[in-house]
Amino acid sequence: MPRPPKWRRVGFVPEVTYFKPAGIPLASLEEVCLTLEEAEAIRLKDREGLEQEECARMMRVSRPTFHRVLGSARKKLADALLNGKAIRIEGGNFEMAMRRFQCRSNGHEWDVPFETMVTRPPAACPTCHSPDIRPAPGFGFGMRGRGGRRGGRGRWKMQE
């Protein structure tokens, strides 16, 4: 029996999650699905230009695991680009690196890094100092995504 997959830490969820070649009808396209941790590996290594050791540390995985995730992502991107396939970004085994909070008094939202959440979670809004705050709806620390496509969408699960 294989061991369960380790959650990978993701610091960014792209707003645009679907790309297709211009001039080809969507119905006739094949699709390549890039997981959120594969997209994060591409972002950290290729866009941010970090070394693999640093990327692995940020995603909370070993360097060999990061190398496998990055290799899988690059292979999928090459397949899509060279064979005219659409790219969908969704799913995977990940947890977010940040948690977003919202002030109930004035609606202000702000992000709190994982490391801060562990040592001292926020007690009040940084703008009005109201203690009436809550985790903002949507992604953030404590949210985990799991692979699999259901009805064309990833499945999200709140960490208890």
- Element holding 77 (H helix, E strand): helix 63-83
Do 102 and 71 share a structural domain?
no
Residues 29 and 83 in one domain: yes
pLDDT tens digits for range 111-123 = 887 667 656 778 8
Mark which of 41, 73, 95 sits at the end of a domain: 95
State pLDDT tens for residues 87-132.
999 988 777 777 788 899 998 988 887 667 656 778 899 999 999 9
Shared domain for 52 and 90, answered yes or no, is: yes
Q: Is residue 76 domain-shared with residue 108, that is, in the same domain?
A: no
Containing domain of residue 23, as a range? 8-95
pLDDT < 50: residue spans in the chain? 139-160
CA distances (Å), origin 80, targets 15, 101, 146: 20, 37, 23
- Cβ(155)–Cβ(101) under 8 Å? no
Reduced to 3 states (helix: H, G, I; strand: E, B; else coil), residue 148 is strand
Residue 87: per-residue pLDDT: 97
Q: What's the gap between Cα 90 and its chain centre?
A: 9
CB 125 within 8 A of CB 150: no
Q: Provide the number of structural domains found in the chain.
A: 2
Q: Is residue 48 part of a domain?
A: yes
pLDDT score, position 160: 29
pLDDT for res 156: 34
